Structure 1
Amino acid sequence: MAPQSTIIITGGTGSLGSSLARALETSYPGRFHLLLTCRNPDDEHAKTISTFLESKKGSFALEKLDLSDLDGVRTFVGDVKARVASGELKGLVGGGLVNCAANQTFFKGQKWKDVMYTVNCLAPALLMRGLLGVMLEGEGSTVVNVGSGAYEIGRCDYFEGKEESEGKEGEKVGFLEGMKRYGSCKLVTMMVGFAFQRRLYTVYPENKVHIINLDPGSMNAGGRLLGSERHWVFPILYGILGVTGPLLRLVRKDAINPPSVPAKAIADLFGSPKESEGRVWKTGKYFILDDEKKPNALSLNDGKQDEVWKNVGRDTGLGDGLKV
């Protein structure tokens, strides 16, 4: 019998997404139907993870989804709602990321020109809020937004007014500005998740939807994490971290790991949930790998969370309310 619990993994053929699919099917065989999304379901990475899941006789689907295309995300949400209505949406993992390639193109010539903001902030918000009705119907759903320690250098208002800036099509940004931009993406998504959890508790006080921001730590997966428009700093930095990783992990276990390490931490959130995760949550949680931590004061500020929620609701067209 096919599993009734679905887990959606955006970026399902990427380094972390494919490692998560492997971890779920290896550690919890037959428990979940894995819906993996990616921009190119025909490339070599898609074929590799498909072959692995087929060898395990896993239940899965591989579907095309470009997170920079918000209309496509809306269509995907509608399709998923129809398909899992008779089952259960156990989880949503936001693994489809524009990584910290600080030299990435800033403007894309769309209404929302910053592709990093669209992919990392707006698309996850559309998915979380669009699939809320299905998640509320199940026995418990977990949303995992993949974060980064770079949120500490981010600004929650970084993207306000960017569409009206004097930047030109195809303009590049430097290393430091790119890191600030990336960290701002992670901060905004974290704060949207925390604001979402607070609203869920107010509107649906008995809900079992849990929203987690999880920092996977530094990952060493070579060029797949660096992208094609990487800044020259990153190949050097990752090379050094790859060599020194064993020593760094003696001090911090999240210092530099293969993607399989954070993948296992995420998989266990679904396969071996902690007893406390069966309760109603009043606020979202922040993890570094499998350790729950307290994030910085800005991310926990209710007023600032509400501002970010309003801004992202405006940019996605979802507004301020919780529509099911």
Structure 2
Amino acid sequence: MPPSRSVIITGGTAGLGLFAAREIAKAHPEYLVVLASRNDGDGAADKINAGLQQENTVYVPLDLSDNASVRKFAEKWASKNHPPIQALLLNAGLQFPGALQKNFEGLEKTFVISHIGHALLFHLLCPYFAPNIRVVVTSSGTHDPAKKTGLPDAVYHSAEELAHPPTSAVKIPGRQRYSTTKLANVLWTYALNSRLVRRVPERGITINAFDPGLMPGTGLARVAVWYQRILWFYVLPYIMPLLKLLIPNVHTAEESGHSLARLAVGKEVEGVSGRYFEGSREIKSSNDSYDESKQEDLWTWTIDYLSNGSDSDKARFESFA
């Protein structure tokens, strides 16, 4: 039988996204599970299918740092007779600990990959959402200074400053750009939720933000300097029992993948929206994340940027058509 629904997971070929994809594919063999990433060099989709003895997981290329790639993904989706999208997991992210990194359009890469590319993907795929679709945005506890995660505190002045850092902000540590972008993920989640409730309640779209915790060994630090990569990939994963004693929110990618899959398809969170989850627990996010002026700034800038002067696109994105 053809699949009845689709699930799309960005960054789905490794780490957290891979384990969430496997969990969803196992629980719902009747779903088409799409791994949307820059590459699938390890054959993640084939490995999931072989391990489950199913054929419902596929890989589709997507580079979130390039808006043209995001638009191409959406155009390809529109051209296929795929089943309606039941869950959209906006999961991909990357840290650039060193010097400022920009994409070819001149936008700061951390912000582009974690926020801009995901926001564009959401709006372009809106016409193909199933009723009561669930959207989950992977954020991080690093967005909250009260968590004392060891990363520099998130500092949000404006979306424009994140996208096009002024001269005064060029030397901001890359890890602060990451924590601030994770704050932007939560701000956008809340801004989107409030508009969905007001404008299209009949569609039943839900959106929540998710903190997977610290997951040593995942690909998040793959562009870090050499000694940080050694620590992340070859030391910390082997002392997980000790880390769990010292740090409350430490998990394997498999454990966090299970929690992410629960938000995507679990019955116990059906209809829940506009919330922040640490693993499987709903908790409060940072104080700044509830600042409606920051939510509004991010939403307005994002819509203006994505519509690129097109009144029709702006109206379409604002109405979730």
* TM-score, scaled to structure 2: 0.84
Residue by residue over 1:121-141, the C-alpha shift from the partner in whole angstroms, topping out at 9 and shown as x without a partner, is 101111122222322xx2311
SS at structure 2 position matched to 1:218: coil
Q: For the aligned residues, what is the CA RMSD?
A: 2.7
Counterpart residue type for residue 4 of structure 2:
Q
* Residue matched to 1:218: 214
Q: State the shift of 1:67 in Å.
A: 0.8
Q: How high is the sequence identity, in percent, across the aligned residues?
A: 22
Q: What code does the residue aligned with 1:207 have?
A: R
Q: Which amino acid aligns with 1:38?
A: S
Counterpart-to-counterpart distance in 2, 1:206 and 1:164: 39
Q: Which has the higher helix share?
A: 2
- 2:23 is matched with which residue? 23
Matches within 5 A, 1:49-198: 49-55=45-51, 56-83=53-80, 87-98=83-94, 100-103=95-98, 105-108=100-103, 110-135=104-129, 138-152=130-144, 153-157=153-157, 159-161=159-161, 163=164, 165-166=166-167, 177-198=173-194
* Offset of residue 289 of structure 1: 0.7
Compute the displacement of 1:93 (Å): 0.9
Distance in 1 separating the partners of 2:165 and 2:178: 19
Residue-by-residue CA offset, 1:92-124 (whole Å, 9 max, x unaligned): 1122211x341265234x333311111111011
**1:222-261 Cα shifts (integer Å, max 9, x gaps):** 6x33213437445436666435432443576532x22101
Alpha-carbon displacement from aligned partner over 1:139-196 (angstroms, at most 9, x marks no partner): 31111111111112212335534636349xxx8x5xx711210011111122112111
CA distance in 2, matches of 1:287, 1:11: 19
SS at match of 2:290: coil
Q: Does 1:288 align with 2:287?
A: no
Match of 1:321? 318
Which segment drifts farther, 208-217 or 28-37?
Answer: 28-37
Equivalent position amino acid for 2:36 in 1: T
Q: 2:259 aligns with which of 260, 265, 271?
A: 265
Count of residue pairs brought into register by the alignment: 304
1:277 aligned partner = 270
**1:14 maps to what in 2?**
14
CA distance in 1 between counterparts of 2:303 and 2:210 reads 22
Unaligned 5+ runs, structure 1: none
Conserved in 1, the CA contact under 8 Å of 2:221 and 2:229?
Answer: yes
- Cα separation, partners in 2 of 1:197 and 1:84, compared to 1, 3 Å: farther
Match of 1:310? 300
